[in-house]
């Protein structure tokens, strides 16, 4: 079975910057890639692309049947999809086939919901500051 390496976030952002220069409708994907790359989530997510689709994995190597999150932008909204393949997968994080899809004007919020659902990333929300006594 084929095994592929993901790309560094800097290369993914660079790719979407180039695509957005050529096709203005891809600017939201460029902005989302920048936002993810600058967030604490970047350390837990390993990106790759398939045409204009951003694909995220929980590890830096992947095969065709590994769990993945795919993000697209079309018709003015983001579509965030999680897909798990067959049960016998080398890098599976879930035990069975499952699918999850959310749509929205902001791609980051559904991504956070998906990651919370999957438990791929440790919670990173900022803690409220306490006044010093």
Domain-located, residue 61? yes
Are 128 and 107 in contact, with CB atoms under 8 Å apart?
no
Question: Does residue 113 form part of some domain?
Answer: yes
Of 36, 28, 35, the C-alpha closest to 52 is 28
The pLDDT of residue 64 is 82
Q: How confident is the model at residue 127 (pLDDT cuts 50, 70, 90)?
A: very low
Q: Is the pLDDT of residue 128 over 80?
A: no
**pLDDT value at residue 12:** 98
**β-strand 4-5 against 46-50: which pairing, if any?**
unpaired
Domain coverage including residue 60: 4-118
The closest of 68, 85, 131, 76 to 107, measured between CA atoms, is 76
Mean pLDDT of the chain: 84
Distance between CA atoms of residues 77 and 25, nearest Å? 11
Mean pLDDT of 72-95: 75
Q: pTM score, two decimals?
A: 0.81
Residue 129 lies in a domain: no
pLDDT score for 87: 53
Kindly tell me if the per-residue pLDDT of 41 is higher than 90: yes
Q: How far apart are CA 86 and CA 96, in angstroms?
A: 7
Q: Assess if residue 73 is contained within a domain.
A: yes
């Amino acid at each position: 079975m084929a095994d592929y390496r993901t790309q560094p976030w800097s290369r993914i952002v660079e790719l979407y910057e180039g695509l957005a220069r050529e096709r203005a409708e891809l600017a939201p994907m460029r902005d989302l890639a920048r936002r993810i790359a600058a967030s604490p989530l970047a350390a837990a997510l390993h990106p790759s692309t398939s045409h204009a689709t951003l694909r995220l994995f929980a590890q830096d190597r992947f095969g065709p049947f590994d769990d993945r999150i795919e993000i697209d932008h079309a018709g003015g909204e983001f579509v965030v999809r999680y897909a798990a393949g067959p049960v016998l997968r080398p890098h599976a994080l879930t035990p069975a086939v499952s699918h999850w899809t959310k749509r929205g004007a902001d791609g980051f919020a559904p991504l956070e919901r998906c990651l919370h659902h999957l438990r791929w990333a440790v919670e990173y929300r900022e803690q409220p500051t306490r006044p010093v006594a």
